[in-house]
Amino acid sequence: MSFFKKSPWIVHYDGASCNGCDIEVLACLTPRYDVERFGCINTGNPKHADILLITGYINHQSEPVVKAIYEQMAEPKVVVAIGICATSGGIFRDCYNTKGGVDTTIPVDVYVPGCAARPESIIDGVVKAIAVLEEKHQAMKKARKAS
């Protein structure tokens, strides 16, 4: 029995964009959506988090920050790209300063498109991320047994 399903802790970061998706991420914590009833905590600390929610595209300024946050998270960890900018660069993809979606910088496990992504679809994305988290945890356990 693993408890990743019951207590997915989240850290969120806005790469660069209009910030709309980031506001929708925070909306998930409000009484209307209340993700804490699933055990989600918005930690604000990558070392405590299991799921990294990234909104917005990646540019050359946010790239090292995103990498640092990702590297500081303990395994097993899952990345969710939220909104069309995070998925592919969105309307900013041809801009001179844009690197592209989040997967140009770190491996992404779940994509949640939308502009802005609605809280319902963000929660749906987090639920998918929890399944991936569980898979990674099982893989970790197997690897530990094998070694």
Binding site for another protein (CB under 8 A): 2-4, 6-7, 9, 29, 31, 34, 36-39, 41-45, 47-48, 50, 74-76, 137, 140
Pairing mode, if any, of strands 58-59 and 110-112?
Answer: unpaired
Long-range Cβ pairs for the range 118-124 (8 Å, 24+): 118/24, 119/24, 119/27, 119/28, 119/32, 119/33, 120/33, 122/21, 122/24, 122/25, 122/28, 122/53, 122/82, 123/28, 123/33, 123/35
Element housing 4 (H / E) = none
CB of 2 to another protein, least distance (A): 6
